[in-house]
Structures are given as C-alpha cells and as structure tokens.
Amino acid sequence: MTTWQRIFKQKPCCYGQPGNSWAPQAVSFAGQLGCGSVSRRGRARGLNGQPFYYGGLLNIFNTKEGPQLRPNDEWTNIEESKTKFRQFYEQMTSNGGGLVSLYFHPCEFIHSQFWI
C-alpha cells in the first residue's frame, strides 16, 4: 500500500502536473502510485492535441478543446462554454469517441485575479 492509499483510502487515477514543470520521471512516479493517466499543459511537444501512451500511462497533453471551454475573467461566457462542450461531445461521439481535458487552479474559484 502506498502512502497515498493509506492517507486517502484509495489509489489515485490521474496525476495532473503542477504548472509547466514537466519531467519524464513524473510519469514514472505517477505509474508507481498506480495512476492510469497523466494530464498536463505546457510548451513541451505533444501529439497535435491527441492523447498518447508514454511510460505505460495515457498522457493527456495540450488538448485543443479544453482551453476553448474556459470561462472568461468575468465568467459571463458559461452558456457559450456549455454549447461548445455539447458541440465537442457530438463531434467526438460521431467519430467514435474522444477526450476533453479541462483544468482549473483552485485559486481561480476564490480570487478575482490569479496571483502569479
């Protein structure tokens, strides 16, 4: 049993990279924790926004749909984001499936301006 499992009473299913700090050893570590996938954004190369396997884990890296669903600074575009999500869903399901990766930093929910 890993420390993670002991503390949280379950194994993690995904590891999300902090910021732009990616390294190949993080994928290895996530695998050791029992994760099945790694999710991240950054300037490093991906595979044209498509998920891929690396180090035995599904890597979800720089998908093109997720950033299009993010709220604006005032969060006034939520209905537009919902509509876009439905369009992505319909397009992906008509092509056999797909994946959308959407991420948030916890501070985005409580601060009006991101602190970094």
Structure tokens at 28: 């290895």
pLDDT tens for 21-67 read 777 788 888 888 888 888 877 666 667 778 888 888 888 887 888 88
pTM score, two decimals?
0.68
3-state SS string over the chain? CCHHHHHHCCCCCEEECCCCCCCHHHHHHHHHHCCCEEEECCCCCCECCECEEECCEEEEECCCHHHHCCCCCCCCCHHHHHHHHHHHHHHHHHCCCCCCCCCCCHHHHCCCCCCC
Residue-range domain boundaries for the chain: 1-62, 64-116
